[in-house]
Amino acid sequence: MNSEELARYHRQIIFPPVGEDGQQRLKAATAVVVGCGATGSALSNLLVRAGVGRVRIVDRDFIELNNLQRQILFDEEDIAANLPKAEAAARKLRRVNRDVTVEAVVADVNPGNVLDLLADATVVLDGTDNFSTRFLLNDACLHLGKAWIYTGVIASYGMTATFIPDGAVATLPGDRQATGCLRCLLGTMPAPGVTPTCDTAGVIGPAVALITAVAAAEAMKLIIGRGKLNPGVIHMDLWTHEYHSFGGAIRRPDCPACGLGRLEYLDATVGTASATLCGRNAVQVRVNGSGPLDLARLEAQLRPVASRLARNDYLLRAQIGDYEFTVFPDNRAIIKGTEDEDLAKSLYARYIGG
324 φ, ψ to 5°? -105, 125
Which of 118, 209, 117 lies closest to 160, judged by CA?
209
Q: Which residues of 224-259 are buried (b: 16+ CB within 10 A; e: fewer)?
A: bebeebbebbbbbbbeeeeeeeeebbeebeebbbbe
- Residue in 141, 181, 184, 198 annotated catalytic: 198
167 φ, ψ to 5°? -70, -15
How many other C-beta atoms lie within 10 A of the C-beta of residue 295?
A: 17
Which of 330, 323, 283, 286 lies closest to 302, judged by CA?
323
How many other C-beta atoms lie within 10 A of the C-beta of residue 211?
A: 25
CA–CA separation, 123 vs 63, rounded Å?
A: 26
Q: From its phi and psi, is residue 204 left (phi > 0), alpha (psi between -120 and 50) or beta?
A: beta
Asked if 198 is an active-site residue, the reply is yes
Rg (CA), the chain: 20
Contact status, residue 65 vs residue 113, Cβ threshold 8 Å: no
Q: What does 44-99 look like in DSSP terms, one character per residue?
A: HHHHHHHT-SEEEEEE--B--GGGTTT-TT--HHHHHTT-BHHHHHHHHHHHH-TT
39 φ, ψ to 5°? -70, -40
Catalytic sites, residue numbers: 198
